[in-house]
Structure 1
Amino acid sequence: MGKEPAGHSTLARSMGLTDVFAVATGAMISSGIFVLPGIAHAQAGPAVVLSYVFAGCIAAMGMLSLAETLTAMPKAGGGYFIVMRTMGPAVGTVAGLCIWFSLALKSAFALIGLAAFIEVFFEMDHRITGTVLCLVFLGVNLRGVREAAVVQKILVVFLCAALGVYIITGLDHVRPDHFLPFASKGWNAVFSTAGTVFVAYGGLLAVDSVAEETRNPGRTLPLGLFLSLIVVMVLYSLAVFVTTGVLPSGELNDSLTPISDGARAFLGRPGFVLVSAAAVAAFISTANAGLITSSRYLLALARDENVPPFLGRISSRNVPSVALIFTTLLVIAVLFIDLKMLVGAASTVLILKYVLMNLSVIVLRESRLLNYRPVFKAPLYPWVQVIGVVGSIFLIFEMGWKALLLATGLITAGFAVYWFYGRIRKGREYALMHLTERLLGKEYAGDALEDELREIVRIRNERDFDVFDRAVQEAIVIDVPPETPSKESLRYLEKEAERLGCPDCERVAGFFRKEAEQGVDQVMPGVGISHLVVRGEDVLRLVIVRDVNRLALGDARVFAYFLVLTSENRRQSYVPAVAALSQIVLAEDFEKRWLTTKKKERLKDILHLGERRPMA
C-alpha cells in the first residue's frame, strides 16, 4: 500500500449539519432549475415535471447507498475513495478523475447561467465574467472550508426563500390548459429528459468530497443528504410545475431564464428582479460548492499516488490549495465548451457515479469485511441498489448515443491516466478481492484493507488509542481449530500459550486447568472473563481465546474466553479492562462477528472497534 505523500495531513472536522445541507443544496439548486426547465420543456413538453421527479427518485437510491458507504468511510473525495477501496485502482482512478471533471463542468455550467442573467443588465462576455468569479471563489476557498461554508449557507437561505415566494404566489396563476397534451413529446422523451435534468441532482453527491471535514459524520452525513434531497425535490417539482403553468410553450421552450420569465409573467418587474437575484445567488453557490467538492477528489487521488503527489498538498489554512488552483483552471478552460455538451457530459458522469455507489454497497456487504462498519445502513438491501443501477443505466441509454460517446471518452481518458501513471505505483487491496476470495474459496486478499478500515472507523468515532487498545494490540490470540476434540482443547490452550510467549506460562497453564474444573464467570452466555496476577512489573496483557465448538470450563460452554493478566502493581487495571470487554461483548452482533471471522488476528479488530467508554 502506497504511503501518504509528504505534506499531506488530515483535514479539520469543522462542518456541521447545516454546512452539509448548504453544500448539497447549494450545489443542486442552480442551473438545474434556473436554466434547464426551458431546455427540458422543449424536449418533453409539460410532462417535464415528471422528468424531474423520476430523476430525483433515481438519485434517492444512489443517495441511500452513498450515505451508507460515507458513514463507513468518511474521507476526502468520498466517492473516489469508496470506489477505489471497493472496485480497485483502475476503476477508482477512472471514477475519481471523471467525477472531478464532472463537478468542474457543473461549476462552469453555473457560471454560464450566471452570465446569461448578467447579460440582461450588462453586455459582458460570459467567459470573462466566469474567469473573474472563479478567481474570487478560489480566494474564498483558500481561506478555509469553514469560511466557504458560511458563504454557502447565506446563499442557500436566500435562494430557498426566493423560490418559496415564487412557488406560493405562482400557484394561483397556473393555467391547466398549459398541461394539455401532457406528454406531448411521448413518454420516451420524458425518460430521456430525466437523464438530461439528472445533473440538477448532482450536488447531492458533492457532499461525499467533504466527508472528512464533517463533525459526527455517522449522523451528520446521512441526515444532511436526506434533508437536502427532500427539500430540493419539492422545490424543483413545484417550481417547474408553476413555470409550465404560467408560460406558454413557445415562450418557455429553450429559454435560458425560465424561472425569471415565469416570475415576470405574474409578478412583473419586481418578481423578475427577485428571481433573477436568487438565480445569481444559486449560480454563485453552485460554482463555489463545485470548487469545494471537486478539489477534494484531486486531493484523494494524490494521497493514493494515482496523480502527482503535489496535487494533494494541504496549506497552512488546512485546505488542499494546489488542488483548488488546478480545479479553478479546469473550470475556466471548460467555459469555452458548448452549453448542451456541458449538460450531457456532466449528467452522464454523475449517473455513472450513482451506478458505482450502488454497486459498491453490494460488493462491500457481500465481501463481509469485518471492519466495514457503516453507522447508517441503506434499507431494503439489495433491491434499492439493483433498481438504482438498472434505472441509472436506463437513463444513460435514453439520453442517446452522444451521451454514451461522451461517457466512453471520459472513461478512456481516466483509464489512460491510470495506465501510464497510477498503474506503475504500488497496488492497493480492495473489497472485490475479498468477495472473489469468498466466492471461489481461494486466498487473494491480505489484511491491508481491514487495517485501513479499522483506522478510519477509529478516527470517525473520535476515539484515541488508549490503554485497553494497547493491551488488545499486544494480546495473545488462541484460535482453537474446529476439528480439535473437546477433551484436547485445554491441552491446546496450554501449548499455544507457551508457544506464543505468554507471561508466566506455567502459572497461566495451571490457571487454565483450574478454570476447566471450577468454571468461569460469564458476562453473557458463551463469553467468559477471568483475571490472573502474574510475576513481573507493569504487566497488562490479554489472552484471547475463540472456540467455535465452545470450550468447556466447568459447567460453562464458551465460544469466547478472555484472560486478563496483570502484575501485582497493575492489579487495579483488571476492573476497567473487564468493564471495557463487557461493553463490547454485549453488542447485538458480537457473537456473529466472533464466530464468522476467518483470520484470528481480526478478532482483535472486534475489540478495537467495539462500543465502549475510554479506559484510562
Structure 2
Amino acid sequence: MTSELRRTLGVFDAVVIGLGAMIGAGIFVALGPAAEAAGSGTGLLVALGIAAVVAYCNAMASARLAARYPSSGGTYVYGRECLGSFWGYLAGWAFVVGKTASCAAMALTVGAYVWPGQAHTVAVAAVVALTAVNYGGVQKSALLTRVIVALVLAVLAAVVVVSFGAGETSPLAPGGELTAGGALQAAGLLFFAFAGYARIATLGEEVRDPARTIPRAVPIALGIALAVYALVAVSVLTVLGPAALADSPAPLTDAARAAGAGRLVPVVAVGAAVAALGSLLSLILGVSRTTLAMARDGYLPTALAAVHPRFQVPHRAELAVGAVVAVVAATADVRDAIGFSSFGVLVYYGIANASAWTLGPDRRPLAALGLAGCGALAFALPLGSVLAGSGVVAAGVVAWAIGRGRGRTAP
C-alpha cells in the first residue's frame, strides 16, 4: 500500500484552492467588526493594508519553504526542518487547533445564512457533506472549489457595482478616532479573511513540480484576494459610511439595501453561504493534511497517517477532523471561534517566518517583518481571544513536555 499522496495539482488549481480558502465568508463578516475597531474609513483601509503586508510576508515565507520542503504539513514540516522538532510540533498544534475553530466558524456562517433558526444543525450537516467530498479525492475538491470561487466573485462584483453606483459617502469620511491599537486590532480581524494562501503549501505533496508551482501560485492567489477585498471595502464604505458599517452584522446585504438593490439581498445571502462552504472545504483539506504529517511523526495517533488505497487521501485524518469540527460547530459561538482561530493562525505564521529566516540572508528582511507583524496582530486581538489562544498554546507545550518525559523521541 502506498503512503504517498498523488501529485495532480497545477498552478491554476493551486491558485483556485488558495482563493477558495481566502475569498470566503471572512469578507462577508469581518468588515463590520474591523470598521468598529479601526474607528474610521481611513482606519479600515489602513488596517486592510497592514493585514495585506503581513499576509504577503507570510505568503512568501510559506512559498519559499514549500518549494524547499514539498511535503504535506506546511509550517509543521518547515519548523521541524529549520528550527527543530519542538517548533515544528508547536506550529502543527497551533494550526490544527486554530483552523479547527475556523472550520467551525465557517460552518456556523453557513447555518446563519441558510437557516438562522437551525444554524447549528445546518453547520453540522455542512461539515459532514464536505468531509465526504474531501474523502473522494483532492481533484474533486479542487473542481468544486473552482465553481464556488466563481460564484462568490460574481456576487461580490454585483455588490461592488451597485454600491459604487449609489454611494455618496467618501470612503475616507471621518468616523471615530484613529489609533495605532485600533488599526492593529482591525488588521488582526481582517487577517482572518486573508488566512488561506498557505493552504497551497499544506498541499505540497499533491502539487506537480512544487518548486515552480508553489512560489507562483501563492502570490497570485494573495494578489487577487487583496484586489477583491479592497474593492469591496471601498464600495461598501461609499454606500454605508464608516459608522453604519461598524454597526452592521451583515455589511454586504446592508450595502445592497442602502443602494436600493433589495432584490440583490437574497443573492448576497446565498453568496455568503456558498463562500463559507468554499472556505470550509479548503480548511478541512488543509487541517487533515497537517494532521497526517503529525501522525506520521507520532505526535498524533499513528492510525491517522493512513492513506486510502483507492482515493490516495488521508481518509482517517479527514474523518477525525470532520468529527471534531462537527462537535465544535454544534456547540460554539461564531465570534469566539473567529478570534480564537486568528490567534492560533498568527502563531503558526510566526513560526513560518522564523523558519524562512534560516533560508539565507536575502530572505531575512521579509521574514523579520513577517514575524514582527504576526506578533503585533496576535496580541492586538481582543483580550479574550489572546487569553484563550495563549492558554491553548501553553497546553500544547505541556503536552509536548509530557510526551518527551515519557520517552517519545522527536523525528
Scaled to the shorter chain, the TM-score interval is over 0.9
- How do 1:526-541 residues align onto structure 2 when only pairs under 5 Å count? none
Matched, 1:402 2:397: no
Q: Indicate yes or no: 2:216 matched with 1:223.
A: yes
User: How far is 1:422 from its partner?
Assistant: 6.1
The equivalent residue for 1:353 is: 348
Inter-CA distance 400–273: structure 2 relative to 1 (3 Å threshold): closer
Q: Quick one: which of 294, 305, 308 aligns to 2:301? A: 308
TM-score under structure 2 normalisation? 0.93
Q: Which residue of 2 aligns with 1:62?
A: 58
Normalized against structure 1, the TM-score is what? Answer: 0.63
**SS of the residue aligned with 2:223?**
helix
Distance apart, 1:352 and its partner CA: 1.5
> Which of 77, 94, 97 is 2:93 aligned to?
97
Match of 1:286 among 263, 266, 279: 279
- What is the aligned partner in structure 2 of residue 373 from structure 1? none
For the Cα contact (< 8 Å) 1:83–1:95, is it kept in 2? yes
Deviation at 1:169, TM superposition (A): 3.5
Contact 2:162 2:256 (C-alpha < 8 Å) held by counterparts: no
Q: What secondary structure sits across from 2:46 in the alignment? A: helix
- Matched ranges for 1:290-369 at <5 A: 290-316=283-309, 317-335=311-329, 336-365=331-360
* More deviation, 212-221/100-109: 100-109
> In the TM superposition, what are the counterparts of 1:428-577 in structure 2 within 5 Å?
428=411
Find the counterpart in structure 1 of residue 410 from structure 2. 427
Question: Of the candidates 222, 232, 240, which is equivalent to residue 239 of structure 1?
Answer: 232
Question: Does residue 1:81 correspond to 2:77, yes or no?
Answer: yes
Q: Which amino acid aligns with 1:27?
A: A
Residue-by-residue CA offset, 1:154-207 (whole Å, 9 max, x unaligned): 111121222123223422322235643155353421122111221111111222
Separation of aligned partners in 2, 1:155 and 1:41: 27
Measured after TM superposition, the shift of residue 35 of structure 1 is 0.8
* Deviations, residues 350-400 of structure 1 (Å, cap 9, x unaligned): 11222111110112437xxxxxxxxxxxxx532111111112212223225
Residues 137-216 of structure 1: matches in 2 within 5 Å? 137-176=130-169, 179-182=172-175, 184-216=177-209
CA distance in 1, matches of 2:254, 2:240: 8
2:155–2:271 Cα contact (<8 Å) kept: yes
Give the Cα separation in 2 of the matches to 1:60 and 1:414: 27
Contact 2:66–2:201 at 8 Å: present in 1 too?
A: yes
The root-mean-square deviation of aligned C-alpha atoms, in Å, is 2.0
Partners of 1:145 and 1:203 lie apart in 2 by 16
Q: 1:66 to 1:249 in 2, by over 3 A?
A: closer
By how many angstroms is 1:209 displaced?
1.4
Aligned mates of 1:420, 1:187 — CA distance in 2: 40
- In the TM superposition, residue 116 of structure 1 has moved relative to its aligned partner by 1.9
In structure 1, list runs of 5 or more residues that go unmatched.
1-6, 367-379, 429-616
Match of 2:397 in 1: 415
2:307 touches 2:313 (CA, 8 Å); kept in 1? yes
Residue identity in the other structure for 2:14: V
Change (3 A) 1:414 1:179: same
What are the Cα deviations for residues 414-438 of structure 1, in whole angstroms up to 9, with x where unaligned?
223323336633333xxxxxxxxxx
Counterpart in the other structure of 1:383: 365
The CA distance in 1 between the partners of 2:99 and 2:134, in whole Å, is: 16
Any conservation in 1 of the 2:339–2:382 contact (CA below 8 Å)? no
Structure (1/2) with the larger strand percentage: 1
Conserved in 2, the CA contact under 8 Å of 1:95 and 1:414?
Answer: no
Residue 392, structure 1, aligned to residue 378, structure 2: no
Q: Is the 8 A contact 2:94 2:347 kept in 1?
A: no
> Structure 1 residues 251, 114: closer, same or farther in 2, change over 3 A?
farther
* Distance across 1 between alignment mates of 2:160 and 2:173: 21
One-letter amino acid of the counterpart of residue 51, structure 1: A
State how far apart, in whole Å, the 1-side matches of 2:94 and 2:351 are.
Answer: 12
Cross-structure match for 1:16? 10
**Residues 27 and 204 in structure 1, CA contact (< 8 A), matched pair in contact too:** yes
Taking the aligned partners of 1:325 and 1:416, their CA distance within structure 2 comes to 26
Q: Provide Cα deviations, 1:80-105, integer angstroms capped at 9, x if missing partner.
A: 11111122222221210220121222
Task: For residue 300 of structure 1, report the CA deviation from its aligned partner.
Answer: 0.1
- Paired residues of 2:71 and 2:203 also in contact (CA < 8 A): yes
In structure 1, distance between residues paired with 2:296 and 2:404: 11
Q: Is the 8 A contact 1:18 1:153 kept in 2?
A: no
Per-residue deviation, 1:75? 0.5
Alignment partner, residue 502 of structure 1: none
Find the aligned partners of 2:216 and 2:176 in 1 and give their Cα distance.
Answer: 35
Q: Which moved more, 1:52-61 or 1:246-255?
A: 246-255
Q: Is the 8 A contact 2:170 2:237 kept in 1?
A: no
Q: Which runs of structure 2 are paired with 1:573-588 in the superposition (5 Å)? A: none
Distance 1:104 1:400, change over 3 A: closer
SS class of match (1:75): coil
Q: Which one of 57, 64, 72 corresponds to residue 68 of structure 2?
A: 72
Provide the residue aligned with 1:466 in structure 2. none
The residue that corresponds to 1:546 in the other structure is: none
Deviates more, 1:103-112 or 1:357-366: 357-366
Structure 2 CA distance, aligned partners of 1:145 and 1:177?
44
1:35-71 Cα offsets, whole Å, 9 max, x none, are 1111222222322122122101111011111111100
1:209–1:265 Cα change, 3 Å = same
Residue deviations 1:475-517 (CA, integer Å, cap 9, x gap): xxxxxxxxxxxxxxxxxxxxxxxxxxxxxxxxxxxxxxxxxxx
CA displacement, residues 248-301 of structure 1 (integer Å, 9 cap, x when unaligned): 555433433211221232252332123222212111100111111100011000
In 2, Cα distance between equivalents of 1:401 and 1:181: 27
What is the CA distance between 1:238 and its match in structure 2?
1.4
- State the structure with bigger RCO (CA 8 A, min sep 6), 1 or 2: 2
